[in-house]
Copies of this chain bind each other. A is one copy, B any other.
Amino acid sequence: MSGRALTFLCALICISQPGRLAAASPPNVIIMLMDDMGWGDLGVLGQPSKETPNLDAMAAQGMLLPNFYTANPLCSPSRAALLTGRLPVRNGFYTTNGHARNAYTPQEIVGGISQDEILLPLMLKKKGYVSKIVGKWHLGHRAQYLPLKNGFDEWFGAPNCHFGPYNNSGRPNIPVYHNSEMVGRYYEEFSINRKTGESNLTQIYLQEGLDFINQQSLAQRPFFLYWAPDATHAPVYASRRFLGKSQRGRYGDAVMELDNSVGQILSRLRTLGIENSTFVFFTSDNGAALMSGPSESGSNGPFLCGKETTYEGGMREPAIAWWPGHITAGTVNFQLSSVMDLYTTSLSLAGISPPDDRALDGLDLTPVLLNSSHVLHHRPIFYYRGNELMAVRLGQYKAHYWTWTNSLDELKKGVNFCPGQEVAGVTTHEQKEHTLQPLIFHLGRDPGEKFPISVLTKEYQDVLSRISPIVDHHKKTLVAGIPQLNMCDVAVMNWAPAGCEKLGKCLKVPTSSPWKCKWPH
Task: Contacts A50-B64, A249-B444 known; list 15 others, CB within 8 Å.
Answer: A40-B302, A44-B44, A45-B46, A46-B46, A48-B66, A48-B302, A50-B66, A252-B444, A252-B445, A293-B450, A294-B446, A295-B445, A419-B423, A420-B448, A420-B449
Asked whether A334 is an interface residue with its Cβ less than 8 Å from the other chain, the reply is: yes
Is A109 interfacial (CB-CB < 8 Å)?
Answer: no
Within 8 A of B (CB), among A378-420: 396, 419-420
A251 lies within 8 A of chain B by Cβ: yes
Return chain B residues, CB-CB under 8 Å to A442: 249, 294
Is A294 a contact of B445 with CB atoms below 8 Å? yes
- Residue A103, interface by CB 8 Å: no
Could you give 7 example pairs across A and B, Cβ below 8 Å?
A40-B46, A47-B302, A49-B444, A247-B444, A293-B446, A420-B426, A422-B422
Select one of B50, B293, B334 contacting A247, CB under 8 A. Answer: B334
Chain B residues with CB under 8 Å of A419's CB are 423, 450-451
Q: Restricting to A153-193, which residues have a CB under 8 Å from any CB of B?
A: none
Give Cα A332 to B46, complex, Å: 13
| Tally of A interface residues using CB under 8 Å | 45
Known: A304-B420, A420-B423, A422-B421. A48 touches B445 (CB 8 A): no
Q: Report A249-285 residues with CB < 8 Å from chain B CB.
A: 249, 251-252
Interface of A is mostly: loop
Q: Judging by beta carbons under 8 Å apart, are A251 and B445 in contact?
A: yes
**Per-position contact with B for A12-48: 1 when CB-CB < 8 Å, else 0?**
0000000000000000000000000000100111111
Residues of chain A whose beta carbon lies under 8 Å from any beta carbon of chain B: 40, 43-50, 60, 64, 66-67, 246-249, 251-252, 293-295, 299, 301-302, 304, 332, 334, 396, 419-423, 426, 442-451
* Chain B residues within an 8 Å CB radius of A252: 444-445
* Chain A to chain B: the 8 pairs with minimum beta-carbon distance, closest first: A46-B46, A247-B444, A420-B450, A294-B446, A422-B422, A420-B423, A249-B445, A294-B451
Once the chains bind, are B294 and A450 in contact (CB under 8 Å)? yes
B residues within 8 A CB of A67?
Answer: 48
Distance in angstroms from A340 CB to nearest chain B CB is: 21
Bound: A251/B447 CA distance, A: 13
